[in-house]
Amino acid sequence: MLLIAFTTLSTCLASAVPAAQEGPRPEATRHAETEATQQQQQPVMQQSQEAPAPAGTVASPTEQQPTPPPEAPGKQRSTVVRGTRPAQSASEVTIGRDILDTAPRMNATDVLRVVPGLVASQHSGEGKAQQLFLRGFDALHGQDVELNVGGLPVNEVSHIHALGYADTNFIIPELVQSLEVTEGSYRAFQGDFAVAGTVRMDLGAREKGVEFAGTLGQFNTRRLVVTVRPGEDPGTFAAAEIGESDGFGPQRGYGRATLLAQGNLDLGHGLSARILGGSYVTRFDSPGVVRQDDLEAGRRTFYSGSFDRQGGTVSRHQLLIGVDLPREGTARTRLEAFGILSDLRLRNNFTGYRVDDRGDGLEQTHDGSTLGLRAEHRRQVTLFGRPVALELGLGGRRDGIHQTQRRYRETDGTFFADEVDADLTQTDVWGYAEARLPLGRWAFRLGGRADALGVEVFDALAFRDPRYYDGQGYSRSAFGVHWGAKAGVEYALTDTWALFASYGDGFRSPQARSLAEGEQAPFVNVHGAELGTRRDGERLSFQASVFGSQVADDFFFDHTVGTTVFTGETLRTGISAALQARPFEGLTAALSATVANATVTKTDAKLPYFAPLVARADVGWEKPLPGIGSVLSVGTGLTLIGPRPLPYDEYSHTVFLADAQAALRRGALALRLDVKNLLNTRWRDGEFVYSSRFDPTSQPSLVPARHFTAGAPRVASLTLEVHL
């Protein structure tokens, strides 16, 4: 059906708007056709992204390819040409592999921290989804940041633990070729949870052949990664990772295994395909929290855990099949189908014995299955003698979910209360269109998106509400539509400098269990705007912007105690800047800083937990040593997070972290030393204010208290790589 709809639509467009005639053409048209020709000459299809550039879309200025790092002796360089999506807003940025290689990247958290303005907190163990902060939003575990890996969506709808739950721990860091970051909600391809922005990861193997990487580190850390790339195309690979560690303190151990494989296939006659699949499983412990007054009184140490039996298990199995249809001039059509099976069992206790003298232990389970179809069509037409780049998209996603939540005793681990036992079906069907028209130094972008959401819920417990609960459960359904407008204006100051103004409506879908029978599904609506400038170049690129996001009917969810507070309208404002520099061969630097504010509109009170200041620096230097036939590389990653507002007018501590690495490679062998938290800073990964009681013999109290989860101390590891 998607193919028929797209074929009909493209035929109508072609007949209504005739193609450009031969003769003098605008520079933008010639540049676009050159880009399309280069892409056609690629030996293998470029790896699919969630939203590749429309055919013929060229920003003014155009985005340049980063200068690749120098090769080690004997290293095979791929000749595959891979393009990046041209930027159409001030804050869009592509982060290449050379930047990722500047600092230690041992897990998904390390990869995410390179995104400008993004804070990724791993306060509940190595297997739980990261808590994310971006542009004044406390995105919890993903509700305000859309994440995509190789075309596969990561955010999970109506999740039992947190809305938009996005667990990226299945990623093998060595396979992340680049990150494409679209901050804000200004592009039509951005879908559910793209409130603060969208992060897409492009996967690929670095070198042809077989690569073994074995890591030994402190706290009994062991890790093995095997990567196979049979040909010149980085996008065709198979890789496996096995890792385990005792952790840097009590209840921080974990073990995980991941398999990821992808193949780009030339089917002939202009038809190409891509298949991406993988499996991931982990078991992890969680330390819980430490009360600040317990630390000061000597009852706990900085790295103590609260209760045992905290942590969980996760598995994820995924498959994507994509087909690029034969090109017709500038027209390109891509069809993709994907499926995901995921499950989570999570136990935690953040409040001790505050709610119940038997203990407040909580176990949550979430079993989800996702099936989706996506079609994208891009072409260039002419309108009033001007080239217009069109991007059209259709898609659908169906999630089937079974989730439970129940209480257990801390003394003996037995369960004593069931709170949730529900089956959900959530279906999202969407369509979008976006057009870009260049007029001399000006360019105008206009688009729109519509998402229709249908929800069916069977709640076996129905919140134990006597109005609904009859011992047989309660079924209900809801439906809603979100309409979103997208627009942008560009003005090219020079061949490399441009000004941008962008507007976009974003949304996040609701928690299905909160909906009543026949209710219009209440999307959280976001209206965002941005003014900025950018410079693009091979050696220096820079972007700066002023942004604002207004959220209607917002809510604040404190996942430590499981309460939701509706705040009404909220406003986020701020400024951000990012720079990538490659001043000479061997030196790579990426710097970024974001200052943000988040308030409730009616009271002007600050929202808790958002990050008002985030700065990041990644700097790497690589130097060939001809005398010994080797290559030496050193690098560092620096992170600064300013004090975050907490409930009851308190603030968190400032965090400054320095990571470093040094590597020496000769031929097929390489040795790398990674040191995280080089200065051995005693820092708090998460800080919270709420009431708790961890001593069952103490007097119950609802007085709020400071709590924290400890960040990792200095951790060193040594990795031996063998390239065959």
pLDDT band at 329 (very low <50, low <70, confident <90, very high): confident
Rounded Cα gap, residues 553 and 536, in angstroms = 38
Query: In this model, does residue 644 exceed pLDDT 70?
Result: yes
The CATH number of whichever domain residue 57 belongs to comes to 2.40.170.20
Q: Which domain holds residue 610?
A: 2-723
Least Cα distance to 570 among 173, 268, 108, 138 occurs for 138
Amino acid identity of residue 202, one-letter, is D
Q: Which of 15-19, 236-240, 287-291 is the least confident region?
A: 15-19
Tokens of 238: 């198979």
Least Cα distance to 495 among 59, 56, 35, 93 occurs for 59
Q: Which of 84-88, 272-276, 586-590 is the least confident region?
A: 84-88
Q: Which of 41-50, 176-185, 514-523, 671-680 is the least confident region?
A: 41-50
pLDDT band at 558 (very low <50, low <70, confident <90, very high): low
Q: Hey, which residues does 59 pair with through a beta bridge?
A: none
Rounded Cα gap, residues 724 and 720, in angstroms = 13
Query: In this model, does residue 16 exceed pLDDT 50?
Result: no
Q: Hey, which residues does 138 pair with through a beta bridge?
A: 133
In this predicted structure, what is the pLDDT of residue 560?
58
Q: Side-chain half-sphere of 298: how many Cα atoms within 13 Å?
A: 0
Task: Give pLDDT tens digits for 669-714.
Answer: 999 999 999 999 999 999 999 999 998 888 888 899 999 999 999 9
Element (H, E) at 296: helix 292-296
Mean pLDDT of 542-561: 82
End-to-end CA separation in angstroms for the chain = 46
Query: In this model, does residue 621 exceed pLDDT 90?
Result: yes
In this predicted structure, what is the pLDDT of residue 323?
96
Rounded Cα gap, residues 688 and 559, in angstroms = 10
Rounded Cα gap, residues 253 and 316, in angstroms = 20
> In this structure, what DSSP letter does residue 289 have?
-
In this predicted structure, what is the pLDDT of residue 52?
37
Mean pLDDT of the chain: 86
Amino acid identity of residue 662, one-letter, is A
Query: In this model, does residue 557 exceed pLDDT 60?
Result: yes
Task: Give pLDDT tens digits for 428-465.
Answer: 999 999 999 999 899 999 999 999 999 999 988 865 55
Element (H, E) at 34: helix 27-40
Residue pair 663/672 in contact by the 8 Å Cβ criterion: yes
> In this structure, what DSSP letter does residue 464 have?
G
Rounded Cα gap, residues 302 and 707, in angstroms = 11
Query: In this model, does residue 78 exceed pLDDT 70?
Result: no
Q: What is the DSSP string of 485-551?
A: EEEEEEEESSSSEEEEEEEEEEEEPPPGGGPPTT-B--PEEEEEEEEEEEE--SSEEEEEEEEEEEE
Query: In this model, does residue 18 exceed pLDDT 50?
Result: no
Rounded Cα gap, residues 86 and 535, in angstroms = 12
Higher pLDDT, residue 33 or 602: 602
Higher pLDDT, residue 292 or 413: 292
Tokens 């003098």, residue located: 24
Going edge to edge, which strands form the sheet with 131-134? 119-121, 131-134, 137-138
Mean pLDDT of 412-421: 84
In the chain, the percentage of residues whose pLDDT exceeds 90 is: 70
In this predicted structure, what is the pLDDT of residue 12?
41
Query: In this model, does residue 192 exceed pLDDT 90?
Result: yes
Mean pLDDT of 152-178: 95
Secondary structure of residue 245 in the 3-state scheme: strand
Tokens 């996005």, residue located: 166
Mean pLDDT of 143-167: 94
pLDDT band at 554 (very low <50, low <70, confident <90, very high): confident
Q: Is 220 exposed, middle or buried (0-12, 13-18, 19+ CB in 10 A)?
A: exposed
CA angle 582–588–593, rounded 5-degree value: 95
In this predicted structure, what is the pLDDT of residue 300?
93
Domains: count for the chain: 1
Mean pLDDT of 93-108: 94
Task: Give pLDDT tens digits for 40-69.
Answer: 333 333 333 333 333 333 333 333 334 344
